[in-house]
Amino acid sequence: MAIVVVGGHTRNIGKTSVVAGLIAALPELEWTAFKVTQFGHGICSADGEPCDCETDAHTVAVTEERSAESGTDSARFLAAGAVRSFWVRTRQGQLAEAMPRVRKELGLARNVILESNSIVRFLKPDLYLTVLDPEIRDFKPSAQYFLDRADAVLWRGGGMPSGSAGTAWPAALLQLARSKPQFTVQAPAYISDALTQFVAERISSAAVKHR
């Protein structure tokens, strides 16, 4: 089994599209997919809607997606060809509580792809990809913390910045990102032949290593 993780430095930059694109491009890998969402600041971890409740029932929710047409990101993974798809929701900082269930499902999977940064705290992926857009200033702490562990950077839009571009980020972060293998991803596909080949080769290498 190979484990692929797709993260990113902020919301709405194409992480879900990258995951769906890889699932569709490599259907022979029979993916089990996970969407990991952490909520806080008055947002309910059970359904993602605003709330002011703080009950045990909202600590963690792990649900298997059954319909490819429900409109959720986990449904997009099924629609792309995933064998199984899960949505993991926890309060901020409480992802550890979901890990026993996640690990159980990992044990049943042939290959796994997860959309998350924080999951890298608990799993050692065979491949960790991070999606970056230097035009967006926000850089989540989890994405900063794990950037050095990324195996490749996927630049959204125009590709890797040069010169003074990207100066909204700390120089050290930009330098670290530039030191990684680079791919450009663009809407609507957020995937490329080069990226697909890179992922396939890394998974093939992981399969040999795990024998």
What is the tens place of the pLDDT at every residue in 22-67? 999 999 999 999 999 988 755 554 555 555 544 455 678 899 999 9
Task: Please state the CATH superfamily assignment of the domain spanning residues 2-210 in this structure.
Answer: P-loop containing nucleotide triphosphate hydrolases (3.40.50.300)
Here the tokens at position 112 are 């796994």
Query: How far apart (Å, rounded) are the C-alpha atoms in residues 195 and 155?
Result: 12
Lowest mean pLDDT among 40-49, 130-139, 154-163, 170-179: 40-49
What is the tens place of the pLDDT at every residue in 67-112? 999 999 999 999 999 999 999 999 888 999 999 999 999 999 999 9
Q: pLDDT band at residue 163, thresholds of 50, 70 and 90? A: low
For 5, list phi and psi in degrees, rounded to 5: -120, 135
Using a 10 angstrom Cβ sphere, with 0-12 exposed, 13-18 middle and 19 or more buried, the burial of residue 40 is exposed
> Which ranges of the chain would DSSP assign to H, the alpha helix?
15-25, 73-80, 99-106, 141-146, 171-178, 193-210
Put simply, whether the predicted model's pTM sits higher than 0.75 gets the answer yes
